[in-house]
């Protein structure tokens, strides 16, 4: 996958999650934040043109200092939750670790359990 290799070239690692774990993806929380702000501005006269303008304004505001702090707080919250989940998983079963085998395109080929003993 191009995006995985591109991220790797810049020292980043992409971790894919399944749909039930969307709360672990900062972009989902940022999108929820934007939608909430746009929803608060809704009036009976709101049409698609006005809605698009409000969405554009919200995306542009992400570069402001205040909104940037919100984004950083969201990312910190997600990182903390990921670390908590990792600890819970390790504590739950210290002997069974998931074994994920990737092909040359970083696609999952097999997933199984591997014993550490």
Per-residue pLDDT of the chain (117 residues; tens, 9 = 90+): 778 888 888 888 777 766 667 777 778 888 888 899 999 999 999 999 999 999 999 988 888 877 788 888 888 888 888 888 878 777 776 655 556 666 777 676 665 655 544
Count of residues for the chain? 117
């Amino acid at each position: 996958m191009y995006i995985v290799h591109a991220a790797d070239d810049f020292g980043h690692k992409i971790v894919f999650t399944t749909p039930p774990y969307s709360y672990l993806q900062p972009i989902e929380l940022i999108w929820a934040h934007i939608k909430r702000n746009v929803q608060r501005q809704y009036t009976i006269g709101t049409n698609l043109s006005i809605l698009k303008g409000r969405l554009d304004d919200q995306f542009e505001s992400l570069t402001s200092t205040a909104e940037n702090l919100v984004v950083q707080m969201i990312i910190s919250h997600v990182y903390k939750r990921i670390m908590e989940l990792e600890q819970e998983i390790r504590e739950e079963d210290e002997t069974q670790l998931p074994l994920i085998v990737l092909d040359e395109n970083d696609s999952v080929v097999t997933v199984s359990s591997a014993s550490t003993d």
